[in-house]
Amino acid sequence: MRKLSALLLLVAVSFAVDSIADLAPDDFSSTSSSYLAPTPLSKAILFDQAYNGTIVNARNYNGYWHMADDFSLTNPSRLESIEWWSLFMSGTSTMDIRVHEDNGGLPGTVLWEQLCVTATVTDTGDDFFGYDINHVEVVLAPADYCFLSDGTTYWLSLHHNGTGAWLCRWDGGIAAESYNSGNSWTSPLITFMLRLNGTEDLATPEVSGQVPADGATGVPVTSDIVFHVTDDCFGVDTSTIAFSVEDGAKSNETSSSLTRIAHTGAIAGTLVVDDTDPNDVICTFTPDSDLPLDTITCTVAAGLADDYGRATTTDIVWSFDTVVTSLEKTTWGQIKAL
């Protein structure tokens, strides 16, 4: 019955084959070559089940058919591209891609999806029963990235919006297939060829681009303080930015005929946070009045975190020295004399 169903499907989509039985899902024989999957550019491989030159069989994943395979990640990550290997025969190259939660060993609730996305299809140079084995990749736009936790079982499902595509597979492992557009799933002992690429969240957010810079001298007392908080993966949790500015003066001093005045320490002002780019947040601190003539110490407190929750454990501190401008040094008597 299974061979007959496959036969009717293939006749319906008018595949020109020498032997229809050769294309029934469970009748494919293995094939191998020296092919090696291309290395992703500027991305880490998050999960690797790539085609290595050997295929055991292939499965239809258009029409009502959807295919899914489970995966988990070593580190929290941002999914940026998906690769798989397929026998493309006809129709469009747009795809429906979904990430599901695990539901007792089968795909469950959809957590993320991209529908009718365009795939790039490249002939590997290998053939399977006379049909090209193609490398297929969907590169996501930044606004469409999928953020995934570590140590969690997910399912990635694929559906080809055309009339003739077969997903290349191996025997063994666990995958899932649906013959009713993902409404229910069964789990054959088969895995399809899949690779996920992106950025791993390996570090806490960083503070950089300070103006005035750490160790700067001769900074005008009228200056604002600007710094960047960056995170390459999940983006900065701006609610965790705790910034303070302090005057380092401890007592009255006289230097170059100018008197430094002792302050309580904290310098009041307004912090404006520009999170237009969540991976590069720009912070601008404007003091309520001129900075004291002294060493100014800036601190971003421990606990600065990304949106996954990975946080710093120590304060980030830098300092600079201020100076009054030539006009500020001029006495009222000199001004009157002019």
Amino acid 169: pLDDT: 83
Q: What's the pLDDT band for 38 if we cut at 50, 70, 90?
A: low
Of 200, 220, 236, the residue at which a domain comes to its end is 200
In tens, the pLDDT along 174-232 reads 789 998 888 899 987 678 899 999 999 999 999 999 999 999 999 999 999 999 999 99
Q: Domain containing 176: what range? A: 2-200
| Count: domains in the chain | 2
Are 237 and 158 found together in one domain?
no
Are 145 and 228 found together in one domain?
no
239: in domain: yes
Of 180, 200, 220, the residue at which a domain comes to its end is 200
Structure tokens at 2: 């299974």
In tens, the pLDDT along 1-31 reads 333 333 333 333 333 332 222 343 333 344 4
The chain-wide mean pLDDT, for the chain, equals: 81
In tens, the pLDDT along 269-321 reads 999 999 999 999 999 999 999 999 999 999 999 999 999 999 999 999 999 99
335: in domain: no
pTM for the model stands at 0.74
Q: 35 with 125: CB under 8 angstroms?
A: yes
Are 155 and 44 found together in one domain?
yes
231: in domain: yes
Top-confidence residue, 66 or 253: 66
In tens, the pLDDT along 110-144 reads 999 999 999 988 888 888 888 888 899 999 999 99
Of 166, 200, 234, the residue at which a domain comes to its end is 200
113: in domain: yes
